[in-house]
Amino acid sequence: ETGVTQSPTHLIKTRGQQVTLRCSSQSGHNTVSWYQQALGQGPQFIFQYYREEENGRGNFPPRFSGLQFPNYSSELNVNALELDDSALYLCASRHSAGGSEQYFGPGTRLTVT
Amino acid sequence: EDQVTQSPEALRLQEGESSSLNCSYTVSGLRGLFWYRQDPGKGPEFLFTLYSAGEEKEKERLKATLTKKESFLHITAPKPEDSATYLCAVKSPGANNLFFGTGTRLTVIP
């Protein structure tokens, strides 16, 4: 158990809609990253938050946005959903004073129809 | 640009048949090479971090090694419960993220 939880487990949305995915990190883990994992692929970095500010972003458009809250929870928001957004979305956390390893949650499976 | 290539894509082993998975990487100034295990539909589970060439780490039937160009995950006498996808990732200087390969899907047959 990593202590990282995500909700919901599964979600089905229609193209053009908006979605919010949630993550709760371990206490003290003040760095959270979000990844997108398409079927048969490795996770791809979306962005990272540290102390409630975005401090790194991968090759994803601005319709992917996030928030981090003081209670170690965070959100990933995706606007104007496209079919290619169907994937497993993973949240990973670490303590900034710890090692570089990230601890992943179980993921949210998003299907866009 | 960082690159991570894992081979083979898929591997089937008989229970007890030892083997190795390969992770070749290209990154300037490696700041860590990471191995994760992922079961279907679940999040990756952290296994090892290696930082410098020559480093080795072990956990139960798994042993990870690192050279300047690649890492190996050795599986000794695997059991069916070792069946999973094994992911390799690297961290480069100044990056906040891990850069993942596409994984090796391991199946251990009883």
pLDDT tens-digit map of B33-52? 999 999 998 999 999 999 99
Average pLDDT over residues B60-72: 97
What distance in Å separates the CA atoms of residue A105 and residue B1, rounded to the nearest whole number?
28
- The dihedral over CA atoms of B61, B97, A89, A77, expressed in degrees to the nearest 10, equals 160
pLDDT score of A82 more than 80: yes
Q: Which strand ranges, in their side-by-side order, compose the sheet holding A73-78?
A: A5-7, A19-24, A73-78, A64-68
The C-alpha atoms of residue B18 and residue A65 are separated, in whole angstroms, by 44
| CA nearest to B52, candidates B25, B32, B36, B72 | B32
What are the residue ranges of helices labelled H in B1-110? none
Q: Which of A31, A43, A103 sits opposite B100 (nearest CB)?
A: A43
Average pLDDT (B18-26) is 97
Interface test with A, best of B24, B55, B96 (most A CBs within 10 A): B96
In the chain, the amino acid numbered A55 is N
Mean pLDDT of A64-78: 94
Query: A60 at the B interface (CB within 8 A)?
Result: no
Q: Is A109 in Cβ contact with B45 (below 8 Å)?
A: no
pLDDT-derived band at B88 (thresholds 50, 70, 90) equals very high
Mean pLDDT over each residue of chain A, to the nearest integer: 93
| Percent of chain A predicted with pLDDT > 70 | 96
Q: Does the structure show a pLDDT above 70 at A1?
A: no
